[in-house]
Amino acid sequence: MDVKTVGVVGAGQMGNGIAHVFALAGYEVKLNDISAEALDRALGTIGKNLDRQVSREKITEAEKQAAMDRISTTTVLTDLGSSDLIIEAATERETVKTAIFEDLQPHLKPTTILTSNTSSISITRLASRTDRPEKFMGFHFMNPVPVMQLVELIRGIATDEETYHSLLKVVESLGKTAASAEDFPAFIVNRILMPMINEAVYTLYEGVGSVRSIDESMKLGANHPMGPLELADFIGLDTCLAIMNVLHEGLADTKYRPCPLLTKYVEAGWLGRKTHRGFYDYRGETPVPTR
Ligand code: CAA
């Protein structure tokens, strides 16, 4: 299957990054969201991030303009029906994702590949509720999408080889690297990353270290570009908690129990950067630890 047109569902942090990299690689992109405001915001973010690449001489002004011209937006989900490839990057709730695929299905070409950017929901289960489980895959990008080299490809139990190879080619065309993961809770990256972040929260909870000392330790002692608490704020504490719950329930092992302090931050609505407060307070000039 030769992919030329791509429909991206959801214009949030992941959706706008995905639209950005596909448009820059020459694909025609239709970006959909239920909110027209979210679509405007996404175009603004994409423009800003492309400008950043222009100013660092990664791309030219003409390439930026051509990429922007390849992105169209719509609040009507079914406008994406003619796409060769659909990437669902909506809210990380199974009912939302299933409803999107159900609504889209009658409008798709028989050859369209359906994918989800889910970070932890079972691909086999999502696929089983569509009319094309053999053309369904997990397509997991990392944040920030324009910068991170990796894409996880997750085959459901029914995914066929043709679909897998089509997506491998797509990842290559984006200049990124694919890692194949089996369809088990949280796949590879989050299976390893989230317990580390959760352990950092336990380290804080038990008073072993402060927010700053934990982050400094992992940045300077393990060469991580961000400390684990700073990274948790960047990802979103609600997302971190949701993934820990998927690991805990899906693997039924107490080693994955979410730290009560992580739950408390989420209960407070302190979800990290997106709500301007998490392990750090982002409301001033520089982030200040909240504990
Ligand atoms: N769009 C385009 N370019 C961007 C960008 C964006 N949104 N954000 C940063 N950049 C570029 C910058 O232009 C810069 O480019 P050059 O190196 O070519 O000059 C480069 O990225 C570095 O940016 P900065 O110098 O501004 O900042 P930094 O050095 O502090 O790096 C970072 C920022 C890349 C985010 C770095 O801190 C990092 O790698 N952090 C860890 C990110 C990470 O672990 N992500 C995975 C999260 S897990 C996940 O996503 C899976 C999940 O399901 C939860």
Mutation pick for ligand 1 pocket among 140, 147, 177, 235 (CB with most ligand atoms within 8 Å):
147
Nearest to 186 by CA among 244, 236, 229: 244
Task: State whether the beta carbon of 146 lies less than 6 angstroms from ligand 1.
Answer: yes
Q: How far is CA 92 from CA 154, 239, 255, in A?
A: 16, 8, 23
Res 1: pLDDT: 72
Give the DSSP letter string of the chain.
Answer: ----EEEEE--SHHHHHHHHHHHHTT-EEEEE-S-HHHHHHHHHHHHHHHHHHHHTTSS-HHHHHHHHHTEEEES-GGGGGG-SEEEE---S-HHHHHHHHHHHGGGS-TTPEEEE--SSS-HHHHHHTSS-GGGEEEEEE-SSTTT--EEEEEE-TT--HHHHHHHHHHHHHTT-EEEEE-SSTTTTHHHHHHHHHHHHHHHHHTTSS-HHHHHHHHHHHH--SS-HHHHHHHH-HHHHHHHHHHHHHHH--GGGPPPHHHHHHHHTT--BGGGTBSSEE-SSSS-EE--
Number of CB atoms found within 10 A of residue 149's CB: 9
Res 120: pLDDT: 86
- Considering 32, 190, 198, 230, which one is annotated as catalytic? 190
- Active site (annotated) includes residue 152: yes
- Considering 16, 20, 122, 140, which one is annotated as catalytic? 140
CA of 147 to the centre of ligand 1 (A): 5
d(CA 178, CA 109): 26
CA of 223 to the centre of ligand 1 (A): 15
- Considering 49, 88, 117, 152, which one is annotated as catalytic? 152
Q: Tell me which residue has its CA closest to atom 30 in ligand 1.
A: 225
- Active site (annotated) includes residue 140: yes
Res 246: pLDDT: 93
d(CA 25, CA 194): 31
Nearest to 84 by CA among 7, 22, 15: 7
Collect all residues with Cβ–Cβ distance below 8 Å to 54 and sequence separation of at least 6: 60, 61, 64
- Residues 279, 230: contact at Cβ < 8 Å? yes
d(CA 104, CA 106): 6
Task: State whether the beta carbon of 142 lies less than 6 angstroms from ligand 1.
Answer: yes
CA of 213 to the centre of ligand 1 (A): 22
- Residues 51, 64: contact at Cβ < 8 Å? yes
Res 187: pLDDT: 96
Collect all residues with Cβ–Cβ distance below 8 Å to 281 and sequence separation of at least 6: 287, 288, 289, 290
pTM of the model: 0.94
Which parts of the chain register pLDDT below 70?
Answer: none
